[in-house]
């Protein structure tokens, strides 16, 4: 008869416990990495609504590295008033996670006003992002420049609580109306290719669609006119 010592039983239990805990520890490690990555991404965009302005050749470049939210429209309007007589061309350089539809609409109105007297181009540089409502702003550019490895995200508009910022779970019919209104306002009346747009709005139901700048050109989306 084989004798099983107390020490061997403890060792067996320790090994079994370790084997059970290893997958949990791995999942925990992945969760920590994801959270840290998300926080790092958030810090990138925490620019407190500052607009950097500087010359680039004959153009004046407006650098916006923040969410589409107050005071974005006011910053653009102030910059235009300060620089409108110094150049014939503005470049709006974007790096944004998107944001509030109402503020994005105000920004677009400022851009349309700028375009009455100036050429206004848009740009997203290497490893920069243009997500959600940022895309609608980018589409306003006469020339729309992007790096091949720039990141883009398209999704259905979401309703959020005014005070908490949390997403509101809208009834299906309300969400469809809001989505149709968004597409008509920002995509139909834009340079976006209609066939590509229709495929996008079928694919994005209930999920985020991510693209690289190179893919937007290769797919003939019409979003980007030139890669840099």
The structural domains of the chain, with segments of one domain joined by +, span 18-46, 48-227
Cβ atoms of 133 and 100 within 8 Å: the answer is yes
Q: Is 225 helix (H, G, I), strand (E, B) or coil?
A: coil
Q: What's the half-sphere exposure (Cβ side, CA atoms, 13 Å) at 30?
A: 6
Query: How far is 100 from 102, CA to CA, in rounded Å?
Result: 6
Residues of the chain with confidence (pLDDT) below 50: 1-4, 9, 11, 13, 31-42, 44, 159-168, 171
Task: CATH number for 48-227: choose from 3.90.226.10, 3.30.470.20, 1.20.1420.30, 3.10.20.600.
Answer: 3.90.226.10
Helices 101-114 and 72-83 cross at an angle (nearest 10°) of 10
Which residue is listed with tokens 């700048």?
213
pTM of this structure: 0.76
The encoded tokens of residue 29 equal 């490690």
Cβ atoms of 81 and 112 within 8 Å: the answer is no
- Cα-based angle 177, 183, 189 (whole degrees, multiple of 5): 135
The encoded tokens of residue 132 equal 């959600």
3-state DSSP helix/strand/coil percent for the chain, to nearest 5?
45, 20, 35
Query: How far is 173 from 9, CA to CA, in rounded Å?
Result: 62
So what's the pLDDT on residue 157?
82
β-strand 119-124 against 226-227: which pairing, if any? unpaired
So what's the pLDDT on residue 14?
58
Query: How far is 138 from 108, CA to CA, in rounded Å?
Result: 9
- Cα-based angle 106, 184, 225 (whole degrees, multiple of 5): 75
So what's the pLDDT on residue 173?
54
Residue 109 region by backbone torsions, left for phi larger than 0, else alpha for psi between -120 and 50, else beta: alpha
């Amino acid at each position: 008869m084989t004798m099983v010592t107390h020490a061997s039983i403890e060792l067996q239990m320790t090994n079994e416990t370790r084997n059970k805990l290893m997958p949990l520890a791995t999942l925990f490690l992945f969760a920590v990495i994801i959270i840290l990555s998300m926080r790092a991404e958030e810090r990138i965009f925490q620019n407190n609504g500052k607009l950097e302005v500087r010359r680039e050749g004959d153009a004046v470049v407006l650098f916006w590295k923040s969410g589409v939210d107050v005071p974005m429209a006011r910053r653009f309007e102030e910059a235009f008033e300060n620089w409108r007589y110094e150049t014939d061309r503005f470049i709006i350089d974007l790096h944004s996670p998107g944001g509030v539809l109402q503020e994005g609409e105000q920004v677009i109105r400022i851009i349309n006003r700028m375009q009455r007297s100036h050429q206004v181009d848009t740009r997203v540089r290497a490893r920069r992002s243009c997500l959600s409502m940022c895309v609608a702003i980018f589409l306003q550019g006469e020339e729309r420049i992007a790096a091949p490895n720039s990141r883009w995200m398209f999704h259905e508009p979401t309703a959020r609580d005014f005070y908490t910022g949390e997403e509101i779970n809208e009834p299906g019919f309300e969400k469809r109306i809001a989505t149709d209104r968004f597409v008509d306002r920002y995509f139909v009346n834009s340079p976006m290719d209609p066939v590509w747009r229709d495929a996008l709005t079928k694919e994005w139901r209930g999920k985020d669609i991510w693209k690289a700048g190179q893919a937007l050109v290769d797919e003939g989306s019409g979003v980007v006119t030139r890669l840099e």
